Chains A and B, each alone.
Chain A
């Protein structure tokens, strides 16, 4: 369960958002500039709220009243960015292994095999990020985030930089991850169709405020 109740001033723009979601995939829906990315950055711990609380499964990650702000690297919250952000100096294998090494986790061969198969990335190991297509890059980024064994996965417009054909190629992978990985997700998108296929709950954001919260039926047609 993800609970968010935060305010944050960013220049002229302010965020004042509260919601709690049990859903397996919580969709954050809104036009660009609605504050979606700032909100997920706060959940990830990359940005500190001015006031409020963020908790995952009952564990407080931010609580300004208690002056608590757990650093991003201690949150175990995975983050898949729109632009993949693979490390250019590491090959695919080392990119995938990065989170495991940083968290000092023992190698989980079963998880690796399952993800390689689910995301179809096993054959890319020796390649450099620069030698991957946009879709491959995004699949590797998904694998990298999941191999760090997060308790929550944030996906910030993971299909945003792909053309329609590539989107159609990645979407089935995301649906499989949702159904088989067992990791709850927050999925950010401005595309109602995408969220209809993936989300169980939807938080609709408008200019930094929650405009609606509910099932996928609240999404515009």
Chain B
């Protein structure tokens, strides 16, 4: 039962790679966006807010198709990236990472934003009277105090990325070894005769990964919170 075949392993490793890359690339962007949403007021902010949460409520197929239209080789952004930087997203694992990053972005941003909003800004004032420039205040006070939220966001984002299916398969299809993640491999297997055992194995693997991520996040969050409460 537990001989995981090379194709299945490929799908597992690819899923991990896609989710890790998506999370790591999205995190700094998510922190910046969360900070802007938490701290600044500007015209059109409700619109930006809605845009970020859009992937959460849109059917994933729609998001995937929009990605294909935008980042496909002939898409508005995709063509430019291909011509100028040689970067291709369509039907590549990088495209899967992009789809996962976009789909998990709202889940990543929300906890970070909440934790930044919860920071006592008087501590930041104290830091500036001690000679810290705005950037240093951000790095030495805001970021460490927002750490529990950042970790929570990363774990949620990672969990979403590893399970993402609809947008990924629409945007980059289901190519074994290139874009076939655990989800799309399971989808293929359960629609193939005799694929049940393999599908079951992959399901167990995905449950293990999800559990490990959740337990790790709980441990991190608890440790970070204890640190922040100053005792």
Contacts and interface: CB of A to CB of B under 8 A. Distances in A.
Q: Which of A46, A73, A128, A129 has the most CB of B within 10 A?
A: A73
Interface residues of B, number: 24
Interface of A: 44-46, 71-79, 81, 83, 85-89, 98-99, 102-103, 128-131, 144-145, 148
B128 interface: yes
Q: Which of B130, B227, B229, B231 has the most CB of A within 10 A?
A: B130
B118 to A, nearest CB: 12
A73 B230 contact: no
B129 A73 contact: yes
A128 to B, nearest CB: 4
B145 A89 contact: yes
A148 to B, nearest CB: 5
B31 to A, nearest CB: 17
Nearest to B231: A130
B128 A73 contact: yes
B122 A102 contact: no
B223 interface: no
B74 interface: no
B125 A46 contact: yes
- Interface of chain B, main secondary structure: helix
A148 B131 contact: yes
What 7 A-B pairs have minimum CB-CB distances, sorted nearest first?
Answer: A130-B230, A130-B231, A88-B230, A99-B130, A79-B129, A102-B131, A85-B126
Contacts of A99: 130-131
Interface string B130-153: 111110110011001100000000
B131 A76 contact: yes
A44 B131 contact: no
Given A79-B126, A85-B126, 19 more contacts: A45-B128, A45-B129, A46-B128, A72-B128, A73-B131, A73-B137, A76-B131, A81-B122, A85-B120, A85-B122, A88-B229, A88-B230, A89-B227, A98-B130, A98-B140, A128-B230, A129-B230, A145-B129, A148-B131
Contacts of B212: none
A102 B137 CA distance: 9
A87 B141 contact: yes
B122 A148 contact: no
A79 B127 CA distance: 10
Interface string B150-176: 000000000000000000000000000
Contact of B129 (A44, A83, A89, A128): A44
Contacts of B141: 87
Contacts of B129: 44-46, 72-73, 75, 77-79, 145
Given A102-B136, A128-B230, A87 B127 contact: yes
24 contacts: A44-B129, A46-B128, A73-B128, A73-B129, A73-B134, A73-B137, A75-B129, A78-B129, A81-B126, A88-B123, A88-B145, A89-B144, A89-B145, A99-B130, A102-B130, A102-B131, A102-B132, A128-B231, A130-B229, A130-B231, A131-B231, A145-B130, A148-B130, A148-B131
B230 A131 contact: yes
